[in-house]
Amino acid sequence: MRAFLRSLWDEPRPPLPPVPAWRDWVLLGALAVAAVAEGAQRTDLRSPVLSVAVAVGLLPTLLWRRRQPLLTVAVASGCARWSRC
């Protein structure tokens, strides 16, 4: 099992992944504003503060998406699964 996890971690990376540009930061800011606005507007959430915290906490994974796509998916899926419980 450990060898399997190591092989996933050592997945081939894109040869020259782009560094986060200004538009990535703009997207991050816009999504943070949208998450906070949705958390403030929705009344059907069990814990709006936790929901907004998880959503905003996951936003930095967008900056990893080109350099480590598998890690990004694993973190986002794990947090989404954990927050649903």
Decide if 79 contacts 57 (C-beta within 8 A). yes
Domain assignment of residue 12, yes or no: no
pLDDT score recorded for residue 54: 84
* pLDDT category of residue 83 using cuts at 50, 70 and 90: low
The pLDDT tens digits of the residues spanning 41-72 come to 888 888 888 888 888 888 888 888 888 788 88
Say how far apart CA 21 and CA 15 lie, in whole Å.
Answer: 18
Across the range 19-44, mean pLDDT stands at: 90
pLDDT score recorded for residue 30: 96
Q: Which domain holds residue 53?
A: 20-84
Domain assignment of residue 8, yes or no: no
Whether 32 has a pLDDT exceeding 60, the answer reads yes
Domain assignment of residue 4, yes or no: no
Domain assignment of residue 13, yes or no: no
Domain assignment of residue 5, yes or no: no
Domains of the chain: total: 1
Counting residues of the chain whose pLDDT is more than 70, the rounded percentage is 89
Nearest in space to 35 (alpha carbons), one of 66, 63, 69, 58: 58
